[in-house]
Amino acid sequence: MPHRSKNRRSAIVVGAGFGGIATALRLRRLGYTVTVIDNNPKAGGRAQVYEINGFKFDAGPTVITAPFLFDELFALFGKKREDYIEFLPVEPWYRFEFSDGSKLDYGGSIEDTVSEINRLSPGEGKGYVDLVNFSKRIFKVGFEKLSDQPFHKFWTMIRQVPALLALKSYLSVYKLVSSFLKDERLRRAFSIHPLLVGGNPMNTTSIYCLIHYLERKWGVWFPRGGTGSLVEALVLLMQEEGIRTGT
């Protein structure tokens, strides 16, 4: 909520999750005096960290699939993210263990994944490649065109309806994946991505299949020390740039 106080531009950001922190930093870069308030004692929003019996647990997100978004926040002030927090590549990205005792390691190159799929269900690697190629098409609309658009204006969304229909957005993630893969184990494994944001693969729109390509494009990363360490790095950046915080 930007407002003017005398001749100085100032803004109050409500919420100290990743979105609030990013907004505060961008406003600060634009010259605003910024205050961030949150009803939690610590920053992080859903990315809170809990400690039980000496063990730390990330309550929310644990991995990063678009690291450049965090790099941008530090670059706004001529700084490097790696000087504050290290991102470690996750390999494999996921390891699936099925009720029949079989396993599937997912990650690395497409060739690695195809080999793993064909080991589990011979001949289905091609279906996975087709799924990734289709997810790239979804990515170009859902991520590149829509992810930064405000949808409080009806026509902003309605202009994309023809493209979304052509990309079968009316199907669920599970149904779209099932159109490329036959083995039920593979269908379930490659439908998990809505779970990362609290969605049900059986009824969440297939737009979320764009994550297949998102992972391929930038990989899967883990902040050293856990998500809480990433929050601490961003809080330090805010402090260095004079952003005030409070509850």
Query: Percent of the chain beyond pLDDT 70?
Result: 89
Which pLDDT score, from 0 to 100, does residue 234 have? 97
Give the pLDDT confidence score for residue 58 in this predicted structure: 87
- pLDDT band, residue 117 (cuts 50/70/90): very high
Given this model, what pLDDT does residue 5 score?
46
Strands 33-37 and 8-14 come out as parallel
Q: For position 27, what pLDDT does the model report?
A: 97
Helix ranges (H only) for 14-172 are 18-29, 68-75, 110-120, 125-142, 154-158, 161-166
What Cα–Cα distance (Å) separates residue 124 from each residue in 116, 139, 185? 10, 23, 12
- What is the chain's mean pLDDT, rounded? 89
| For range 152-171, the mean pLDDT | 70
Residue length of the chain:
247
pLDDT of residue 152: 59
105 touches 116 (CB < 8 A) = yes
In this prediction, residues 104-119 reach a mean pLDDT of 94
Bond before 2 cis per omega within 30 degrees: no
Report pLDDT for 156. 61
Neighbouring-strand partners of residue 88: 222
Q: Given this model, what pLDDT does residue 168 score?
A: 82
* Element spanning 184, H or E: helix 184-189
DSSP one-letter string for 204-225: SBGGGGHHHHHHHHH--EEETT
Instruction: For residue 205, list its beta bridge partners.
Output: 172
Domains, the chain, in order of start with CATH, read 2-88+224-246 (3.50.50.60), 91-218 (no CATH)
Query: Across residues 20-42, what is the average pLDDT?
Result: 95
pLDDT in tens, 59-101: 888 899 999 999 999 999 999 999 999 999 999 999 999 999 9
Burial of 227 from C-beta contacts in 10 A (0-12 / 13-18 / 19+): buried
For the purposes of burial, counting CB atoms within 10 Å of the CB of 151, is it exposed (0-12), middle (13-18) or buried (19 or more)?
exposed
- Please say whether the beta carbons of 11 and 33 come within 8 A: yes
Q: Is the pTM of this model over 0.85?
A: no
DSSP state of 38: -
Residue 148 has pLDDT above 90, yes or no: no
Which is it for strands 49-52 and 55-58: parallel, antiparallel or unpaired?
Answer: antiparallel
Contact (Cβ atoms closer than 8 angstroms) between residue 37 and residue 14: yes
pLDDT tens, residue by residue, 1-30 = 554 444 479 999 999 999 999 999 999 999
